[in-house]
Amino acid sequence: MLPVGPLMIEHRLIERLIAIMARQADRIKKDRSADIDFIDDCVDFIKGYADRCHHGKEEDILFKALGDKNLSQKHMAVLKELVDEHNHARNLTAGLVDEKNKYFKSTTEAEKQIFALEIYGHLKQLCELYPKHIKKEDKEFFLPIMDYFSSEEKAEMLAEFFEFDRKLIHEHYKNIVERYE
């Protein structure tokens, strides 16, 4: 298996959530009300899975390994775009959390409707960003950049991905305990 195989598999799960988010965003726009638990679950998924797990492997392992390679201008440009898109997703997610908190603290129906529309806007932007981002990685980047690596480097990277995943679950639950200590 190529090291990018696990990343592409992770894309499929992210796409599934994005499809659900798009449906919920449309419902929020129509009803002018938000499901706080759903938003919390989306934020948890985006922060924990899409960003920390998935983007973490890309940035901390794959992109870092590419730093030692003589990339073509095209691949360098795409790499920069991908990093910028990761940061944009983080900013959109932070904005979604802010709007969700404002919605939760709202005391009038009019305020709730305003913040529901802000939540809608952040969800829609995430739903527009991720499919394009994933397509770019899958079609324009992941497979071509594998040519920069030897078979040994690919095997080592794949092992690093699995070790990253193994440590991640322990890190997550350690953080929960430390938060309450």
Is 76 a member of any domain? yes
Output the pLDDT for position 174.
82
Beta strand residue intervals within the chain, DSSP E: none
Question: How many Å apart are CA 166 and CA 64, to the nearest integer?
Answer: 20
Report yes or no on whether pTM surpasses 0.85. yes
Helix, strand, or coil (residue 116): helix
Kindly state whether residue 69 falls inside one of the protein's structural domains.
Answer: yes
Please say if the pLDDT value at position 166 is more than 90: no
Tell me which residue range forms the domain holding 152: 4-175
Q: In this predicted model, what pLDDT tens digit does every residue of 41-61 receive, in sequence order?
A: 999 999 999 999 999 999 999
Residue 136 inside a domain? The answer is yes
Domain count, the chain: 1
Any idea what the CATH number is for the domain that residue 94 is in? 1.20.120.520
CB atoms within 10 A of CB 9: 11
Tell me the pLDDT tens digit for each residue of 107-155. Answer: 999 999 999 999 999 999 999 999 999 999 999 999 999 999 999 999 9
| Residue 151 belongs to some domain of the structure | yes
Q: What is the pLDDT of residues 75-115, one digit of tens each?
A: 999 999 999 999 999 999 999 999 999 999 999 999 999 99
- Does residue 48 lie in a domain region? yes
Is 35 within a domain?
yes
Tell me, yes or no, whether 60 lies in a domain: yes
> What value does the mean pLDDT take over residues 152-177?
87
- Residue 181: inside a domain: no
Question: What's the token pair of residue 114?
Answer: 């305003």
